[in-house]
Amino acid sequence: MRKQAKISRRKFVGSAATVAALSSLPVGKLMTFAKGSSANPENADWKDQGVLYVDKSPYAKVHNVPVHAVTITQGFWGARREINVDKSIPSMEKLLEANGRMTNFLRLVGQSNAKQTGPVYSDSDVYKWTEAVGFALESGDRPQLREVTEKIIKEVVAVQEPSGYLNTYYVDDRSKDRMTPDVQRWGHELYNLGHMIQGAIAFYRATGDSTLLDASMRFVDGYLLPNFGPGADKKPIFSGHPEIELALVELYRTTGQKKYLTLAGYILQGDDRIKVPQRAYVYHFCGIPFTSRTHLEGHAVRAMYACCGATDYYMETGDEAYLKTLDVLWNDLVATQMYVTGGVGARSQGEAFGDSYELPNFTAYGESCAAIGNMMWNWRMLTATGDAKYADVIERALYNGINSGMSLDGTLYCYRNPLAFDPSGGDQIRNPWYDTTCCPPNLERTFASLPGYFYGTSKDGLYVHLYDNSELRWHLEDGTGLQIVQKTNYPWDGAVELTVSPAKPVEFAVYLRIPGWSDSTQAKVNGQAVSGATPGKYLALRRRWSAGDTVDLEFNLTPQVIEANARVVDDYGRVAVQRGPLIYCLEQLDQPQGVPLYDVSLDLRKSASPRFQEQFRANLLGGIVVLKHPGAANENSVSGNTLYSSYTASPAQTHEVELQFIPYYAWANRAPTPMQVWTPYLRA
């Protein structure tokens, strides 16, 4: 069955051709590479390093392209990214200032009388925001934003102690607690350092300014390495909140200094000189050999970041035990622990993974950071293997469980991303600020880095991982210049047109990701049909390419009704609705008056296949395709005032209603009605 989307293709290609919603100035002119920096003595390619710099990683199959090589033009992500850089990143800077994140630094050099404020991981908010700025500047200089960030970096670095230690919480009376076993467990010192390294690297790759990078290296070289690590003369490390592992591997890639990789390996292995209760190895997801793990458990963000670090470590060392473990954990993720939105972390208690198949909808935690961690881990697995199954998870998380985390206007954020919600409980789901404000800058850095996720290169060609209007200006690994222009109205329409233009005619493979959800995909090269498009695989088109060659793809966006495994008891008798990469949901205010969502079900009985109507609504929620489908409203309301009533075997009295679905990411972006229930999982 093939249902054409009701959008004129000509119309969207026309609008997509208006280039560059985002500024796309070349970045080359703003570089002020610090002479004498220890960051990168030989290497001139710092500005051409991707989200991950894996060009020299022996066990990376697909290499990242730099963020600046890809311009995401007008379209789904173009609009989102424009809001991110125009509104979210600047407003977060104001919020960081207003909530004392910077006075925490300034007070230590006598420039503020304010007291220390915020939790132990407050510094990481500044670093994650700096990382977002770094990625944003790779897409084009923004002098004002760059200058504000340079000032912030100066204020951070001014606090660094001669030993290299830099943290605004463990100072004064708390200095004595630094890196004690208990503080390693709960104090987030290494977590802060990890984000400092990541922020420093992103800013360096955008601007060549290594001020923060040099400071983060001084921390590792001066304070950490001489005092901590294996060996009787050093104290042990317990990561506490994994993050330092992935950061150290990227620091190794950036500097070429193996000591950072070695330290990451040591931390991933765990050091049994720090003894913690068994439950702490679960919750913190560190402290025992990573390769001894058999399932995902404990704090979801910790587990995801640990998996990222382990995959990074594998890409450098080729240690098969790591790959084996990562494989086991990944299968656990997709077979028993991941929401249909790509969100992870079922329990709010401990922000944790639950048991296998424990995936409640209303109480789902699904922290934005955990979905981002899921995407980051799958990006690393994709980089290591070139297997499209990881790209499918990236897309699922990105379009749904991550994208829901930021409001459409870019100023409000979800900490948790539940799959069903009733605001009558008083919970405010979207907020501008959280005292633990890990998620907002995490969302900002993710959207800012997005161009770096669209394409990749390998020895024999080019990968297309994600679809949206974009332009790649880069080169094949043999140095041949390559431009790819992608035109589409994805995810609203399944047609994608790519123009492939190598600098000279040359044979190579273009690997096109065929999404797992597209059960029939048509592909053409220069108008000629090609076969072999398989869901969940890359379609390899190996031929001699010449400038202006075209590839046309047509994915099948027919809405699908999705069932969960019967062991997911919370989804028993329920279905979800998916169209292309987007999971759909219902909001009360789109449904007929007087029909509470608790009382409706999707009416699938009258025909063999679902009967969705698809309609593009340009003025609704930033422009979305809404889905309509017949539903049945129960006339003997189950959501009335009675808690229990006798069950009757006779068929329920229902009447037909038209249900209207919107994409999940767009939920809770309109003024709430008195009872706004939402659920992607609907009774069928």
Q: What distance in Å separates the CA atoms of residue 450 and residue 398, rounded to the nearest whole number? A: 10
Q: Of the two residues 187 and 559, which places its CB atom closer to Zn ion in the complex?
A: 187
Of 451, 364, 349, 435, give the one whose Cα is nearest residue 404: 364
Closer CB to Zn ion, residue 132 or residue 438?
Answer: 438
CA–CA distance, 252 with 243 (Å, rounded to integer): 14
Nearest-angstrom CA–CA distance, 497 and 287: 49
Interface with Zn ion includes 438 (CB under 5 A)? yes
Q: Which is nearer to Zn ion, 394 or 439 (CB)?
A: 439
The Cβ of residue 348 has, within 10 Å, a number of other Cβ atoms equal to 15
CB of 363 to Zn ion, least distance (A): 17
Residue 65 or 438: the one with the smaller Cβ distance to Zn ion is: 438
Closest residue by Cα to residue 5 from 616, 618, 634: 616
**Residue 442 beta carbon to Zn ion: minimum distance, rounded to whole angstroms:** 6
- Cβ neighbors of 456 (< 8 A, separation 6 or more) are 62, 63, 64, 65, 382, 383, 462, 463, 465
Closest CA to 474 of 17, 33, 55: 55
**Touching Zn ion, residues 342-381 (CB under 5 A):** 367, 369
Phi and psi for 537 in degrees, rounded to 5? -130, 165
DSSP string, 635-669: SS-TTSS-S------SPPPEEEEEEEEEEGGGTT-
- Helices H / strands E in the chain, number of each: 18, 23
Q: How far is the CB of 369 from Zn ion (least distance, A)?
A: 3
Question: Of the two residues 361 and 442, which places its CB atom closer to Zn ion in the complex?
Answer: 442
Q: Which of 206, 391, 439, 602 binds Zn ion (CB under 5 A)?
A: 439
Chain center to CA of 380:
12
- Taken in order 404, 410, 416, 419, is the CA torsion positive or negative? negative
- What is the token pair recorded at 541? 């088109």
Task: Give the tokens for residue 646.
Answer: 């006798």
246 alpha carbon, distance to own chain's centre: 15
Nearer to Zn ion, 159 or 402 (CB): 402
Closest to Zn ion by CB, 95 or 439: 439
Question: CB of 435: closest distance to Zn ion in angstroms?
Answer: 12
CA–CA separation, 54 vs 452, rounded Å? 13
Pairing state between β 582-587 and 678-679: antiparallel
Total number of residues binding Zn ion (CB under 5 A)? 4
Nearest Cα residue to 471 out of 455, 457, 447: 455
Q: Which stretch binds Zn ion (CB under 5 A): 2-10, 432-440, 506-514, 546-554?
A: 432-440
* Nearest-approach distance from CB 544 to Zn ion, in angstroms: 48
> For Zn ion, which residue has the nearest CB?
369
* Complex with Zn ion: residue 136 or 372, whichever CB lies closer: 372
Name which of 250 and 367 has its Cβ closer to Zn ion.
367
Shortest Å distance, C-beta 244 to Zn ion: 17
* Closer to Zn ion by Cβ: residue 217 or 412: 412
Is 310 one of the binding residues for Zn ion (CB under 5 A)?
A: no
To Zn ion, the closest distance from the beta carbon of 180 in angstroms equals 26
CB of 153 to Zn ion, least distance (A): 23
Q: How far apart are CA 603 and CA 611, in angstroms?
A: 9
| Interaction of residue 406 with Zn ion, rule CB under 5 A | no
Q: Which residues bind Zn ion (CB under 5 A)?
A: 367, 369, 438-439
